[in-house]
Chain A
Amino acid sequence: MSKASKLIYFFIFLVTILGIVPWLIEISGRWDYYYTLTSVALLSIASSGVWLTFYIGRINIGQGAYALAGGYVVAILVTKYDVSFWLSVPIAGLFCSFVSMLIGASILRLRGVYFAMITLVLTEVAKLTAMSLPITNGAKGISSIALPGELSIFGISIIPDFSTLANVKLAFYYVAVILMIFVFAGMYRLVNSRIGHLCRSLQQNEELASSIGVNITILRIIAYSISSFLGGIGGAIFISISQSVYPTTFQVADSINFMLNVFVGGMGYVFGPMIGTLFIYFGWDLLFTTGKYQLLIYSSIIIALILVLPNGLLSLRIFNKSNKREAK
């Protein structure tokens, strides 16, 4: 695909999510879709982190742990220390990537199901830590977190105070979607850079990669810490929408869902997590009308997808023309 047509696609995408979608919501009056779409954007940021660990050949079921940690960091900074929301989100991300470097140094030596199992355990550890530490307020969690305040540089306000806005949902929607665009653009750049190619060599054969001089230890830790950073900021913004965080906000089921998002979208495609999250989260929401059969239908669809489309939604023919070469 040529550079020009890539740009055109990108432009169409921007117009759709920044202009057409809010307009459609406006005329249809379904304001609740803002919340759904914001969640999709934030969860897809966290899922893209999981995707990156898949990319280096590790099955990561521990993203819930970092999303929860990021959420708690923001909650504590905003409620206890009065730090601005816009500053505490990157702090949350950095905190998560620092923690993941410490943990990753030892657990990234594990492979295959061993790594999968230990990351699953990690999610449980995060929940229990949140329950038992005094600063996280135990099972009661932290609630009534203030809305994001004003962001200004040299006295010029860039983002207004959220509590003065008439439509907070729309504001969160824009924040989440713009962040998502940056994350996926960055991810696309990363995958097509030298580091991305090295990561792909890890996925195929670590011994071989290391034998031709790739420093696999450092590379694994870098990829894992970027992944956790994304999990952290995704979780951080997610909890400021509901303005509360509990140890059960992100748990094992959420970690598994992050993994499913990546898979349903397609593990071989950078934009897979975005499509996957949209499909899974919206599908789950739409199935709400089926009442008690919701989980049954949802899980049947997932099993059917795994049987029919083992390479994810983006491997469908209609997507192939536009996305395949772009992502690979």
Chain B
Amino acid sequence: MEQVLTNGVYLGAQYALIALGLTLIFALMNVLNFAHGQMYVLGGFVTYTVYGRFEMPFVVAILASAVTLAILGAFVEKFLFRPVLKNSEREESSMLLAAGLAFFLDAVILLLFGEKQRGVPKIIDGVMNWDFLIIMPYDRILIGVLAITFIVTFILFMQYSKPGRAMRALAQDKVAAQLMGVNVTRYSMLGFALGAMLAGIAGGLLVSIVGVNSGIGGPISIKAFMMVMIGGAGVISGAIAGGFILGMLESIGLTVLVAYGDMTYLLIFVSLMIFLSIRPQGLMGKPWG
């Protein structure tokens, strides 16, 4: 049981990191970023290249992932989403753009990195064994702690820094924030860059554990959507809660229903649909996003 819970917390920390980026982009721009999973994969491949191929320190690799994705996110916002959001009257357009972008990133990743499953050497060797109740490799612990550190840093940034406050204001009420002198264009771009960066960091962290391949972008996006739906779209605390809940459910489900395999996800999906029909806005979301 302790083992299952620890796995759940570890998984949840990773998931929360992914969901945070998605929910941030959604809160600021009302855009459902279909390409989030692909951004995660790209982050993974950057870390793989820098750490696995060029053999630079892991920290440098994570930084490289973060910077690459932040730049990508900023460009995507400036040259793709901004004109579309400005010109189109229906909110569907931005969603379709995101879907197109997901295909595009998939193609780029496939061309640049090939279709093979890639892994990197372990960061630290050894396994922690606590009375045979909890057995966990040290590198997983490190990655889990790093993920939680990033989450805490992000929350502190959003809570106490000036850009963070501006972005929260934007998410609450765009017009009011604009009237108070918040530069909407700049902070939308910053928010998108930050969201993409979080996806990249998550990808970079997880490449050292599960590896990465070019096909997992779509499934990761779906998981991220589920977490956001559980917690409520556009709410930071909701994304974290959603991530940990999904991580815990998966960990418990895979242990209890080990004989059935796919049943775990089916049950999670079905219970999510029932949950949403009772509470459409998720745990902490505001109604109708």
A in complex with B: yes
Q: Which residues of B contact A263 (CB under 8 A)?
A: 92-93, 96
Give the distance in Å from the alpha carbon of A111 to the alpha carbon of B95 in the complex. 14
Beta-carbon contact of B273 and A107 below 8 Å: yes
**B-facing residues in A124-145 (Cβ within 8 Å):** 124-125, 128-129, 131-132
Give the distance in Å from the alpha carbon of A125 to the alpha carbon of B266 in the complex. 6
**Contact partner, B288, options A111, A122, A124, Cβ 8 Å:** A111
Give the distance in Å from the alpha carbon of A116 to the alpha carbon of B177 in the complex. 28
A208 in contact (CB, < 8 A) = no
Q: Report the minimum CB–CB distance from B86 to chain A (whole Å).
A: 10
Beta-carbon contact of A300 and B104 below 8 Å: yes
**B-facing residues in A6-27 (Cβ within 8 Å):** none
Give the distance in Å from the alpha carbon of A75 to the alpha carbon of B198 in the complex. 44
Q: Which residues of B contact A295 (CB under 8 A)?
A: 103, 106-107, 110
Beta-carbon contact of A303 and B101 below 8 Å: yes
Contact segment of B125-133, B150-158, B159-167, B218-226 = B218-226
Give the distance in Å from the alpha carbon of A141 to the alpha carbon of B44 in the complex. 33
Beta-carbon contact of A256 and B99 below 8 Å: yes
Instruction: Report A85-114 CB contacts with B as 1/0, cut-off 8 Å.
Output: 000000000000000000100110111111
Give the distance in Å from the alpha carbon of A59 to the alpha carbon of B90 in the complex. 11
Beta-carbon contact of B266 and A120 below 8 Å: no
Majority secondary structure of chain A interface residues (helix, strand, loop or mixed): helix
A253 in contact (CB, < 8 A) = yes
Give the distance in Å from the alpha carbon of A314 to the alpha carbon of B102 in the complex. 25
- Nearest to A106 among chain B residues (CB) is B277
A41 in contact (CB, < 8 A) = no
Q: Report the minimum CB–CB distance from A215 to chain B (whole Å).
A: 20
Interface residues on A, range: 35 or more
**A-facing residues in B215-239 (Cβ within 8 Å):** 218, 222, 225-226, 228-229, 233
Beta-carbon contact of B273 and A306 below 8 Å: no
How many pairs of residues, A versus B, come closer than 8 Å at their CB atoms? 128
Q: Which residues of A contact B34 (CB under 8 A)?
A: 256
- Nearest to A132 among chain B residues (CB) is B262
Beta-carbon contact of A310 and B87 below 8 Å: yes
Q: Report the minimum CB–CB distance from B124 to chain A (whole Å).
A: 35
**A-facing residues in B199-256 (Cβ within 8 Å):** 218, 222, 225-226, 228-229, 233
Q: Which residues of B contact A246 (CB under 8 A)?
A: none
Residue of A124, A129, A300, A306 with most partner-chain B CB within 10 A: A306
Give the distance in Å from the alpha carbon of A125 to the alpha carbon of B271 in the complex. 11
Give the distance in Å from the alpha carbon of A263 to the alpha carbon of B88 in the complex. 13
- Nearest to B32 among chain A residues (CB) is A113
**Contact partner, A252, options B26, B218, B276, Cβ 8 Å:** B218
Q: Report the minimum CB–CB distance from B133 to chain A (whole Å).
A: 32
Beta-carbon contact of A124 and B222 below 8 Å: yes
Q: Report the minimum CB–CB distance from A252 to chain B (whole Å).
A: 6
Q: Which residues of A contact B142 (CB under 8 A)?
A: none
Give the distance in Å from the alpha carbon of A321 to the alpha carbon of B110 in the complex. 42
B80 in contact (CB, < 8 A) = yes
Q: Which residues of A contact B108 (CB under 8 A)?
A: 296
Q: Which residues of A contact B270 (CB under 8 A)?
A: 125
Q: Report the minimum CB–CB distance from B276 to chain A (whole Å).
A: 6
With A110-B276, A112-B91 known as contacts, the answer to whether A259 contacts B111 (CB < 8 A) is no
**Contact partner, A107, options B26, B80, B262, B277, Cβ 8 Å:** B277
Q: Report the minimum CB–CB distance from B78 to chain A (whole Å).
A: 13
Give the distance in Å from the alpha carbon of A253 to the alpha carbon of B281 in the complex. 26
Q: Which residues of B contact A125 (CB under 8 A)?
A: 266, 269-270, 273
Beta-carbon contact of B96 and A259 below 8 Å: yes
Q: Report the minimum CB–CB distance from A253 to chain B (whole Å).
A: 7
Give the distance in Å from the alpha carbon of A271 to the alpha carbon of B226 in the complex. 34
**Contact partner, A299, options B30, B104, B269, Cβ 8 Å:** B104
Beta-carbon contact of B111 and A292 below 8 Å: yes
Instruction: Report B160-203 CB contacts with A as 1/0, cut-off 8 Å.
Output: 00000000000000000000000000000000000000000000
Give the distance in Å from the alpha carbon of A124 to the alpha carbon of B26 in the complex. 22
Q: Report the minimum CB–CB distance from B172 to chain A (whole Å).
A: 18
Q: Report the minimum CB–CB distance from B89 to chain A (whole Å).
A: 8
Q: Which residues of A contact B103 (CB under 8 A)?
A: 295, 298-299, 302
- Nearest to A264 among chain B residues (CB) is B96
With A106-B273, A114-B233, A252-B222 known as contacts, the answer to whether A296 contacts B111 (CB < 8 A) is yes
Beta-carbon contact of A306 and B100 below 8 Å: yes
Q: Which residues of B contact A110 (CB under 8 A)?
A: 276, 280
**A-facing residues in B265-283 (Cβ within 8 Å):** 265-266, 269-270, 272-274, 276-277, 280-281
A-B contact pairs, 14 of them (CB 8 A): A106-B276, A107-B277, A113-B91, A113-B233, A116-B95, A124-B222, A125-B269, A132-B261, A132-B262, A299-B107, A302-B103, A303-B100, A303-B104, A307-B84
Known contacts A54-B92, A121-B226, A252-B218, then 20 further A-B pairs from the complex at CB < 8 Å, ordered by chain A residue:
A59-B95, A112-B288, A113-B95, A114-B276, A114-B281, A116-B32, A120-B222, A124-B265, A252-B222, A256-B99, A256-B102, A292-B110, A296-B108, A299-B101, A299-B107, A302-B103, A303-B104, A306-B97, A310-B87, A310-B93
